Amino acid sequence: ALLLYIFYRRGGKEPLGINISTCAKLVKQAAPIALCDIFIITYARVDQIMLQGMLGKESLVGIYNFATRFAEVLRIIPLAFMASIFPSLCRAYEQKRASFEEAYRRSFKYMSLICIPVAFASILLSKPLILAVNGKYVAGAPILTILLFAEVFVFLGIVNNRLLVSSGRQTLDILFTGASAAINIMLNLLLIGRLGMAGAALASLVAYATGPILGLLIPFTRPFSMAMFRASLKPTGAASIMLLAVWLSAARFGLLASAALGAAVYLGAIALVRGLDREDATLIRSVFHKV
């Protein structure tokens, strides 16, 4: 409001007022996004609420919350990346569909290259990582591993969400996020009583994977989901080789050295299967050049 007042005082050409038709148009476009955010908040937090209500053990909830916060830190990567390319996505969809398709294929590829090896590495590294930060939460190591695998679908889901908004199909995301919220609640009811914290984490994993699977059933989103799954194949193969290398070398070289070795093995495997092409290399060099 202050900025608007300053603009007006400095000679804004438009008189201050309310344009009802513009407001109605904006509300209509934004309402699906707001509803999706409500669903996202629901399935992102309902596991913690239900864990507290069904088990009633503050210590377990604290361990689970610690693992959740740890995993969620990574979300800044896809959020920042998609925020930077979102205007280009909107222009590409309106002007040149081939550029739009190329942009979302590369977006899925880059996010897969980052999140999948992190998830695989957590199988061996979650426990020492938590011990290094705060040893009293070490019981949450298996939970952190499950949640980091769930983050793979969060990374890809954020890309998918921005694709739907940039193409004006944000109403479809209500289906994906609503289904994820409903499945998360139902699975928490079924699994928390039997598996405790692990049940809540598994419910999140399945709920986050629901959107990409549903996307295969809808003609408009099928290309997105197909590109999403194709983009994950090479990083998954390379991450599996990385995990094997870390596991075989950890006893001999120590965890820190074997983790460095695993990172080198992952990059080598990605290069071997041509997970990055010349244009990717050019883009990466340009980024480092700017830095």
Predicted confidence (pLDDT) per residue in 172-225, tens digit:
888 888 888 899 999 999 998 888 899 999 999 999 999 888 999 999 999 999
CA angle 237/204/260 to nearest 5° reads 40
In whole angstroms, what is the distance from residue 62 CA to residue 27 CA?
39
Q: Please, how many CA atoms are within 13 Å of residue 157, restricted to the half-sphere of its CB?
A: 25
- Name residues whose C-beta falls within 8 Å of residue 112's C-beta, 6 or more positions apart in sequence: 152, 155, 156, 231, 232, 235
pLDDT for the residue 201: 92
pLDDT for the residue 15: 67
| Residue 183: its H or E element | helix 172-195
pLDDT for the residue 33: 85
pLDDT for the residue 10: 75
Do the Cβ atoms of 200 and 192 come closer than 8 Å?
yes
pLDDT for the residue 242: 95
pLDDT for the residue 183: 92
User: How many residues belong to the chain?
Assistant: 291
Tens digit of each residue's pLDDT, the chain (291 residues): 888 777 777 766 666 678 888 888 888 888 888 888 888 887 777 888 888 787 777 778 888 889 988 888 898 999 998 888 888 888 888 888 788 888 889 899 999 999 999 999 999 999 988 988 888 889 999 999 999 999 999 999 899 988 988 888 888 888 888 888 899 999 999 998 888 899 999 999 999 999 888 999 999 999 999 999 999 999 999 999 999 999 998 888 888 888 899 999 999 999 898 888 877 777 666 555 554
In whole angstroms, what is the distance from residue 271 CA to residue 37 CA?
38
pLDDT for the residue 230: 92
